[in-house]
Amino acid sequence: MRRGIPVSPGIAIGTAYVIHQIYVSPSSKRLEDFEITAELANYETARDKAASDLLALERKVDAQVGHEEASIFAVHQSILRDTAFTKKIRGWIVDERMAAPAALHRLLGEYTALFTKTKDDYLQERLNDVRDVILRLSGHMTEVTKPQSSIEGPLIVVTDELLPSQAVMLGDADVQGIVTQAGSQTSHAAIIARSRGIPAVSGVKKILRKVKTGDTIVVDGRYGTVEINPGIETLTAYRKLEREFFDLKDKLAANRDLPATTVDNVDLQLLANINGENDAIAAERMGASGIGLYRTEYLYLTHQDVPDEEQQYSVYRKIIEASPNREVTIRTLDIGGDKTVAYLGHDHKEANPFMGWRSIRLSFEHPEFFNTQIRAIVRAASDVPDSTTRIMFPMVTTLEEVRKLRSMVRRAYKTLETRGIKTRKIEVGMMLEVPAAAVSIETMLDQVDFVSIGSNDLVQYLMAADRDNPKVSHLCQPLAPPVLITLKRVIEACNRSNTPVTLCGEMAGKPGAFLLLLGMGLRRFSMSPAFVPSIKQLTRQVSIKQAEQILETAMKFKTTAKVKHYMAETVGELAPDLQLLSSR
């Protein structure tokens, strides 16, 4: 048994599928004499295509973002043209009869062994550049590896960290569980797993040394445990739990068309957090009433280059059309922290990336790039009849920022008008995740049409603890008394001013946290689509008065441990069957 962080609840049993950093299957087969010339040509063709890619990217980023940001692709071109780099690959193909992908794989191993011995940050970044170039070359020579047809499903994906590009690679594979060596409750892997309702465990140290493709794996997303090739008795016990898990999911899915109404007939809005069109379709299937958060950064993270206005417009329009009731709140680019793209200047490391150059701070520095996204959102919202689309800006800290954002939205409308494009006004809101904004929320409410609370970041900023740092992540507890006090104050301020307020962090999908938020006066909750059925079930089993009484008791406790213990007991009494869907 290996232990990690429980990030997506449930039980999954399947066959391990291990993804390493190079997403190709380099053949170990030695080339025949007659194949060497063809393999050299294969490499040169891939090199030409990669060079063409990089040149196009450099020009596009230079035009849309800036010359300095485009320079990273000039660096990649210089690596691609490097004489020593090319000489080694050609030498291994000719002298050792290696296939080009296998030669690239070997070269990356050599560079990794060499560069990781140094503490120099500059050389570490150059290793990342080399890796990017090799991945690009590999992609032009071989098809991206997908789960092999010879591996019987269901599959448990095991990797260092599941990136958005890898998630796209998996496509329609029968993935029933995810295990990562790195990551946290708010990592890419965690978000992807929860959005699909897949049990997952992150932060399992050295798991890639312990498991190989084809092993039988059990993932317990409630307790954060992973069993590798378990014995018959253990496997039988987990299969029983897995059946109970699936039976409960099927039972809850049956309530998709029922309203989210409390025992005392108060209607709630249970919305979904999504990363793309497939998630929007899943939200409809799970009975969500709309989309409370569309994370547009996943469009950039999975796109081969800089998505232009037309490409963004097309994607946003599809999202709106696929969303339940055609209601969607679109968050502008939230890059930074643990999500970076090279063409926005993130080719260097920051000492404190979550508190640094990210989100709207980055967007303000690239106004033309930012305005392109705003125009695409406005166009998509205007072109879908009978839809309710809102635009939301992340990491707002000051009133001055709100006013500047309003000004940029007005500028986008004027630009579209000069082009003769018809538009309609859409609501403009802020994501509240910075303590400074929480403290001064009353001063901002007359400048925004709505507020969305991003509890994931708000918690880590309040507790001064990086949620991805295992040494301090234990402090990032949404049920910590300081967090509850802050949330209660913000929700009450929004309600007093009749400003719609939604919470769209991970708290919204956790039964205990949901009950407390309900007691605070929150009526709009946005969560991973897979959590909508269970929260709807809980909604229909509780009254507002009960929630207020639960909150009153919880607020008397002085420690996080006591709040958590009390809420676990309370949920167990109110809805014992939901325990299988709750991470500990």
Give me the active site residues, please.
Answer: 188, 504
Q: How far is CA 44 from CA 86, 107, 138, 222, in A?
A: 10, 16, 12, 50
Q: Please report where in the chains the tokens 């520095």 appear, as a residue.
A: 365
Residues constituting the chain: 584
> Residue 154: is the preceding peptide bond cis (ω within 30°)?
yes
Dihedrals phi, psi of 269, to nearest 5 degrees:
-105, 115
210: tokens are: 């312990």
Q: How far apart, in whole angstroms, are the C-alpha atoms of residue 556 and residue 49? A: 64
Neighbours of 93 (CB within 10 A): 22
Cβ–Cβ < 8 Å for 339, 297: yes
Q: What is the largest CA-CA distance in the chain?
A: 81
Nearest to 303 by CA among 537, 61, 487: 61
Alpha-carbon torsion (360, 366, 371, 374), positive or negative: negative
Neighbours of 481 (CB within 10 A): 17
Q: How far apart, in whole angstroms, are the C-alpha atoms of residue 42 and residue 30? A: 16
User: Helix 188-196 vs helix 277-286: angle between axes, to the nearest 10 degrees?
Assistant: 40
Q: Any residues with CB less than 8 A from the CB of 440 and at least 6 apart, and which?
A: 398, 399
Q: DSSP alpha helices (H): ranges in 142-217? A: 164-170, 188-196, 207-210
Q: How far apart, in whole angstroms, are the C-alpha atoms of residue 333 and residue 437? A: 19
Nearest to 262 by CA among 546, 571, 542: 542
Dihedrals phi, psi of 408, to nearest 5 degrees:
-70, -35
Q: What is the 3-state secondary structure (H, E, C) of 125-187?
A: HHHHHHHHHHHHHHHHHCCCCCCCCCCCCCEEEEECCCCHHHHHHHCCCCEEEEEECCCCCCC
Nearest to 16 by CA among 171, 163, 176: 176
Q: Residue 192: CA atoms inside 13 Å, Cβ hemisphere, count?
A: 25
Q: How far apart, in whole angstroms, are the C-alpha atoms of residue 265 and residue 544? A: 9
